[in-house]
Amino acid sequence: MLYYVSGPVTVLEPGLAVIDCGGVGYGCRVTAYTAGQLKLDKPARLYITESIREDAFDLYGFIDREEQRCFQLLTTVNGVGPKAAMAILSGGPQSFTLAVMTGDEKSLMAAQGVGKKLAQRIILELKDKIGGGDTALDFSGPTPTAQVQQGGNLAMATAALQELGYSSTEIAAALKGADPTATTEALIRHALRAMVMKG
């Protein structure tokens, strides 16, 4: 099993990156998010998920483990193949996570091959896995403060903001004064506005 490939990028095309590993070129299917962080002839490391079928052996390469975990979660949803999963993740794992946790069907439907029913299924099946008790995604930040943990929507908003890279201190400050009865999406927007104003 390939865990990752590391070496200079010798080919970089839409949806494809070739990594030279000791004279062997590994062709990896990549999202626009990953491709945007690669440069020709510069060293890179891509985490690999293999897809082996009778007629194909594909390598899917991801710039970080978070994007790889999102891909693996997406492909557990009935109707989401690797191609659709890669399209959904083109905006990055943070955008995907936010869309699922806020129930934003339109963001998911922007990906080629994703209709309304499939977007709804993705949200239904993955919302708890991303923000609930299933730790398929690693929210490795510090434990949020007790104030932020009050209420399910606050907890969901906190988890989504952590996934976007904010610290628990920043989140607690941004959510201060927010309506605890508001929806998860409203709380996230409140926090993001507060952070933008502060910045």
pLDDT of residue 131: 58
Structural domain harbouring 155: 146-198
Domain endpoint, select from 83, 103, 131: 131
Q: Which residues of the chain have pLDDT under 50?
A: 132-150
Domain endpoint, select from 62, 94, 110: 62
pLDDT of residue 89: 95
Q: CA-CA distances (angstroms) from residue 110 to 103, 106, 150?
A: 14, 6, 33
This prediction's pTM: 0.68
150 and 179 fall within a common domain: yes
Domain endpoint, select from 28, 44, 62: 62
How far is it, in rounded angstroms, from Cα 130 to Cα 123?
Answer: 10
In a domain, 153, yes or no: yes
pLDDT of residue 125: 93
Nearest Cα neighbor of 26 from 51, 48, 54, 41 is: 48
- Give CA angle at 43 (39, 48), nearest 5°: 95
53 and 71 fall within a common domain: no
pLDDT of residue 43: 97
- Asked if residues 72 and 142 have their Cβ atoms less than 8 Å apart, the reply is no
